[in-house]
Chains A and B, each alone.
Chain A
């Protein structure tokens, strides 16, 4: 399964990663090798096998809790690491031109 540089660019755009040309070429090679390796899964017959969609141990159930109002992170603490803020909001560059 060889991945083209164009394909790498398409995925990088989906992942909001900006890559340089050298990085794109390197990743095309590395990802192709990894995808070639994982192709061995095709050899397995998985007909009728349920996917493991959660990681709880066999027989475990997701515990439920009461829906109670509890204290949460105050805005000042939540905003303490903001690169830019305005009032109690995170500030970002203009989204709509």
Chain B
């Protein structure tokens, strides 16, 4: 098989070829590394490529396969990680200059599980600094570009994770989603992205942004691949106290079960304007496809949905201001201004190390938590969060999944929103509710936008811990639409 043919395979297909020894992990890894070398100067998906390590891991995997000791279907499959995952011995920055040169002393749990499954890690992926952003333009190192159109952003904050998978640089990746950071870039890059239920995947060894919202999830080119990756990383971890002890189901088992009898909730508030015309058309067509497949569309109400952004942009910055207090030049990362004493060291380290967006959110969060403002801002936002969750609880009395858009537009141009933080925040309107309510959600490619031919994602949100139904529903649409197309010309 040629390198291009190998890179065109899904994880499921590659895994089959690896087990039949028609392709070696070393061949697949060399193909991926060559593809990264040939395309990443343009795309900017990677902050760090680790070719020697990847090839060592690939050869070790081939040796296991030869001995008949494959650890899992992922054994030998080249993947990559958002640079928010701690990787022992490999620099990890969360896209921030304040962590430049930081080499973690341990692997995060999700990384550990992928390694235990035999996966090969090609490197660390670009992201908005500390996962704060919706375009990857807030990376402290370089912007990432959308493989479908290099003048456009891949979305964010897991922009590198989506772009690398879309550009066929790796077969799958991990990202994190605090307000849409897996689903939105997945939608804008035309890949599948899953944000599991809060507590489904351990956050141990994931650099924290907003701890009550952050969740780890996979990005891949097919629903089946995403299911495979999710199964590998999900499950209880005693090192994350919010990690759920619930058993992890076999996400592949019911994947081909179709959509017959499925009750698909359509939130009326999401279709009252605000979506770009072509996006709305594709989302409505996807809903019609479900009807055709035997699902029933149910009208549901999410009346507090419109307050989600306001609540989120108080809660997330408040938690971030606390989480980012640890970057003070004492234990790791950048240290500046030592000569002037401790106060100067804090101030100068944080001034030089943080980019504009983390500073903005630290300021906003500190204000919202400060004496005299706590009740008016943070506490009120937490109450509104309860209302957002109740909306979903009520909706799920009537339906099995909630369906709608991921992003109001297709991928936007670099610079289009970067000067106006509020405009950037508003792009998260459809994804934030899922995080506030701690529910599982995913983005699955719908048909390409009718004019621009850019990807459009359909969002599905499910009941707590019901990722299996989401994946089954997404697979039904994928099977009907056929394999999602690859970007051309990259």
Q: Which positions in A face B, CB cutoff 8 Å? A: 3, 7-8, 11-12, 14-20, 23, 27, 30-31, 33-35, 37-38, 40-42, 44, 46, 49-60, 62-63, 65, 73, 77-78, 80-84, 90, 92-95
Q: Are B313 and A34 in contact (CB under 8 A)?
A: yes
Q: Could you show 14 A-B contacts with beta carbons less than 8 Å apart?
A: A11-B363, A11-B367, A15-B325, A15-B363, A17-B350, A18-B347, A18-B348, A23-B359, A31-B363, A31-B364, A44-B387, A46-B380, A54-B242, A90-B330
A76 — nearest CB in chain B belongs to which residue?
B105
Q: What's the nearest-Cβ distance from chain B to residue A8, in Å? A: 7
Q: Name the 9 nearest CB pairs between A and B, nearest first.
A: A57-B464, A18-B347, A51-B382, A81-B332, A83-B335, A77-B105, A46-B383, A55-B212, A52-B385
Q: Please report the C-alpha to C-alpha distance between residue A59 and residue B328 in the assembled complex, in whole angstroms.
A: 38
Residues of A within 8 A of B304 (CB): 44
State which of B110-118, B218-226, B337-345 sits at the interface with chain A.
B337-345
**A41/B310 in contact, CB under 8 A:** yes
Which residues of the partner chain A approach B106 to less than 8 Å between Cβ atoms? 73, 77
Assuming the contacts A49-B383, A57-B438, asked whether A65 and B238 have C-beta atoms less than 8 A apart, the reply is: yes
Shortest Cβ distance from B199 into A: residue: A56
CB of B386 within 8 A of CB of A50, answer yes
| B244, B340, B350, B385: the one within 8 Å of A60 (CB) | B244
Note all chain B residues with C-beta closer than 8 A to A65: 238
Chain B, 185-206, contact with A by CB distance < 8 Å: what is the 0/1 string?
A: 0000000000001110000000
Q: How far is the CB of B264 from chain A (nearest CB, A)?
A: 21
Does A53 lie within 8 Å of B382, measured CB to CB?
yes
Given A41-B381, A52-B385, A57-B439: A33 touches B422 (CB 8 Å cut-off): yes
* Nearest CB of A to B380, in Å: 5
What's the Cα separation between A40 and B232 when bound, in Å?
A: 42
- Whether B389 and A34, one on each chain, are in contact in the complex, defined by CB atoms closer than 8 angstroms, is no
> Are A8 and B363 in contact, CB atoms less than 8 angstroms apart?
yes
Chain B contact residue count (CB 8 A cutoff): 75
Pair B241/A46 contact, Cβ less than 8 Å = no
* Chain B CB within 10 Å, residue with most, of A38, A40, A44, A80: A38
Which one of B198, B346, B383, B425 lies within 8 Å of A16 (CB-CB)?
B346
- Smallest CB gap from A59: residue in B: B464
CB < 8 Å: which of A27, A50, A54, A92 contacts B330? Answer: A92
Report chain A residues within 8 Å CB of B338. 84, 93
Q: Which of B335, B346, B379 contacts A51 (CB 8 A)?
A: B379
* B450 located at the interface, meaning its Cβ lies under 8 Å from any Cβ of chain A in the complex: no
Tell me the B424-479 residues at the A interface (CB within 8 Å). Answer: 425, 436, 438-439, 464-465
Q: What separation, in Å, do the CA atoms of A92 and B36 have in the docked complex? A: 41
A36: min CB distance to chain B, Å: 9
Q: Are B347 and A17 in contact (CB under 8 A)?
A: yes
Q: A23-B359, A62-B242 are in contact. List 12 more A-B contacts (CB 8 A).
A: A16-B328, A16-B343, A16-B350, A27-B360, A51-B385, A56-B198, A56-B438, A57-B465, A58-B464, A77-B106, A81-B333, A93-B338
CB of B69 closer than 8 Å to a CB of A:
no
Q: Which of B330, B333, B350, B386 is the one whose CB lies under 8 Å from A52? A: B386
Who on chain B is nearest to A54 by CB?
B212
Measured between beta carbons, the chain A residues less than 8 angstroms from B439 are 57
Q: Contacts A62-B241, A84-B335 given: A93-B342 contact, CB under 8 Å?
A: yes
Do A11 and B382 touch across chains, with their CB atoms under 8 A apart?
no
- Contact indicator A55/B310 (Cβ below 8 Å): no
Measured CA separation A92–B349 after assembly (Å): 13
The chain B residue sitting closest to A53, CB to CB, is B382
CB distance from B471 to the nearest CB of A (A): 17
Residues of B within 8 A of A30 (CB): 360, 421-422
Chain A CB within 10 A, most for which of B105, B241, B333: B105
Query: Which residues of A sit under 8 angstroms from B370, Cβ to Cβ?
Result: 11, 14
Q: Is the CB of B342 within 8 A of A92?
A: yes
Which residues of chain A come closer than 8 Å to B48, judged between CB atoms?
A: none
Knowing A33-B422, A60-B199, A90-B330 are in contact, say whether A17-B363 is a contact too (CB < 8 A).
yes
Q: Does B131 contact A (CB under 8 A)?
A: no
Chain A residue nearest to B321 in the complex (CB): A15
Q: How far is the CB of B99 from chain A (nearest CB, A)?
A: 9
B310 touches A95 (CB 8 A): no
Q: Which residues of A contact B342 (CB under 8 A)?
A: 92-95
- Cβ of A81 and Cβ of B103 under 8 Å apart? yes
CA distance A18 to B307 in the complex (A): 32
